[in-house]
Every structure is written in C-alpha cells, then in structure tokens.
Amino acid sequence: MKESSRILRFAIVGTLNALITALVVGLMMHVFGEDYLTANVTAYTIAQINNFIWCKYWIFPLDPVARRNSLWRQILWFCLAFTAAYGAQFLFLLTLVELLGCNEYLAQFLGLFVYGGVNFMSNRLLTFR
C-alpha cells in the first residue's frame, strides 16, 4: 500500500475518532456534568478501542499469518503508542487550559492534532511495521 493511501485512511479513521471523542466529551461534560479531564480520559479510551480495530485491519494490514502471530505484540505496542500520543495531547491540553487560559473545548479540539501526529508515527514505526 502506498504511504499516501495509508495517511488518507488514517485521516478518515482519525476523523471518525475525533467525532467519537467530541461526542463523548460533550456527553460527559454537558449531560453527566463531569470535568474536562475526566471527559478527556473517557473519550480517548473509547476512541482508542475503535482506532485499534481500524489500524489493524484497514490502515496497517498484515498478511493473515503475520496478523495472527503478532496480535499480543501489536496490542502492547499499540498501548505504548497510545500512551505516548495521549501523554503529548494531555500535556498540551493542560498547558493550553491551565497556563494559557484557553477555552476547554478549543483546547480539546487542538489536542486532537497533537495526538494524531504522534499516534500515526508511533503506530507506523513501531506497532504495525
């Protein structure tokens, strides 16, 4: 698969994940009255489950034998990639909201781009190489 196709697929799934994240953040903050940090953690966790499935089978597909033999390795590296991407996004979110006084919703949105960049590179280079 061409790298441009892979990036386009990642952008499509990323958009879906952004919608999932936005929906969960909105529900958590407006319907359930949770603070922005709890909403953020919950939303990214739910979106990450969706992301793994799409990454494994559509964005970074492996041949069936390699896919079957590497599931646990992929899950481990995927979790590490998520931790790195989420950590970068979370620090970015805290910096924008707590230090720079940015609107919580705008900071959540901008953080998606930080998360997406780190997540793609981590998964491309480590998880699904």
Predicted confidence (pLDDT) at residue 67 exceeds the cutoff of 70: no
Residue indicated by tokens 């909201």 = 97
pLDDT digits 0-9 by tens, 20-34: 999 999 999 999 999
pLDDT digits 0-9 by tens, 69-111: 577 888 899 899 989 999 999 999 999 999 999 998 899 889 9
Predicted confidence (pLDDT) at residue 123 exceeds the cutoff of 90: no
Q: For residue 57, what pLDDT band results from cuts at 50, 70 and 90?
A: confident
The per-residue pLDDT for 114 is 94
pTM: 0.70
The per-residue pLDDT for 102 is 95
* Radius of gyration (C-alpha) of the chain in whole angstroms: 15
The per-residue pLDDT for 50 is 93
> H/E/C letters for each residue in 83-98?
HHHHHHHHHHHHHHHH
The per-residue pLDDT for 31 is 96
